[in-house]
Amino acid sequence: MRFKIKKDIPSSARLVKILLLLLISGTSLYAQQDAQYTQYMYNTVSVNPGYAGSRGHLSVGALHRSQWVGLDGAPTTQTFNIHSPVGYRGVGLGLSVVNDRIGPTSETNFDIDFSYTLYLSKEARLSFGLKAGGNLLDVKFSELNQFTTDPSLAVDIDNRFSPNFGAGVYYHNEHFYAGLSVPRFLQTAHFDESSLSTAKEQMNFYFITGYVWDLNDFLKFKPTLLTKVVQGAPLQVDLSANFMLNDKFILGAAYRWDAAVSGMLGFNISEGFLIGLGYDREVTELGNAAFNDGSFEVILRYDFIKTKGQMKSPRFF
């Protein structure tokens, strides 16, 4: 989101000292505004509606991320999604909710996801998806310490609503998947003449891909890639590698280009119930222990599997 400050707003909080440089400096700048995930491979429907229904049954997932733990007002993110194929062959429907909070700002995105799948072969599927929903934006300038005593210069943005829509395409077969998506197309500007800033939504472009190798009867290996592009911000590239043992235990590591290294653990408690844990440590100056204790993430996903059908084991993507 872009913030354009009309008047400097200093703060004594450690978070503001750092994040003002990133989010609300004296000149207009752009930053990646969509929520960030380490376990993005289990949360695909949040950014690509083409994934809706692709698991072949009703699937429910919830994720919580605490970023830069120990830093006052640091980012926290919660997501919830539910999606399933529906009656007509090839149609998928879902609901996605993402709540993202950082310092005095809070955003909630809620979307209905629709997908239509073409069956290219016995194993290959190509899905086209649409998102339609809205965004609620809160900016509490009143929570910041200010030099000015003029209350008209510190008007909060309170649950400002803006509609939006997005689209995505998703391909997968038994071992490979790839997707390209833009979750939000409309670059809505939130502006008030008496407010301290302009907040503008930017389009985020996502490319995700991965491959599952069956190394033997008990061990699978899955490298994945997530690339995120947004105007005015550095290219974000996430590389990860996960091993699954006995279709139960998952162990992995990831690297976010010039940003962080991560470790991941997962466990399939039952055939349809996955729990995943992630931990990030920044490789930038922000990773210094004096600033924060790293970022933590937990995800829960439950698949209502009525019958295995052609599924030989729980899906690894």
Summarised one tens digit per residue, pLDDT across range 147-194 is 555 555 567 777 888 999 999 999 999 999 999 999 999 876 655 554
- Give residue 152's pLDDT: 55
- Give residue 289's pLDDT: 59
The whole-angstrom separation of Cα 277 and Cα 284 is 22
Q: Taking the model in full, what pTM does it have?
A: 0.83
* DSSP H/E element including 14: helix 14-22
The whole-angstrom separation of Cα 31 and Cα 29 is 7
The whole-angstrom separation of Cα 33 and Cα 200 is 10
Q: If you classify domain 2-304 with CATH, what class do you get?
A: mainly beta
Q: Which residues contact 290 (CB under 8 A, 6 or more apart)?
A: none
Summarised one tens digit per residue, pLDDT across range 218-243 is 999 999 999 999 877 888 999 999 99
DSSP summary character for residue 316: -
What does the block give as tokens for 123?
């194993």
Give residue 138's pLDDT band: very low, low, confident or very high (50, 70, 90). Answer: confident
Distances (CA, A) of 240 to 9, 106, 231: 39, 29, 24
* DSSP H/E element including 117: strand 105-119
With contact defined as beta carbons under 8 Å apart, do 51 and 68 qualify? Answer: no
Q: Which residues contact 176 (CB under 8 A, 6 or more apart)?
A: 209, 210, 211, 212
Lowest mean pLDDT among 36-50, 179-193, 294-308: 179-193
- Give residue 310's pLDDT: 47
Summarised one tens digit per residue, pLDDT across range 119-129 is 999 899 999 99
The whole-angstrom separation of Cα 42 and Cα 1 is 25
Dmax (CA) of the chain: 69
Amino acid symbol at 81 = N
Lowest mean pLDDT among 23-37, 96-110, 163-177, 186-200: 23-37
The residue ranges of every structural domain in the chain are 2-304
Tokens 């790839």: give the residue.
178
| Averaged confidence pLDDT in the chain | 82
Closest CA to 34 of 262, 255, 159, 202: 202
What does the block give as tokens for 34?
């969509």
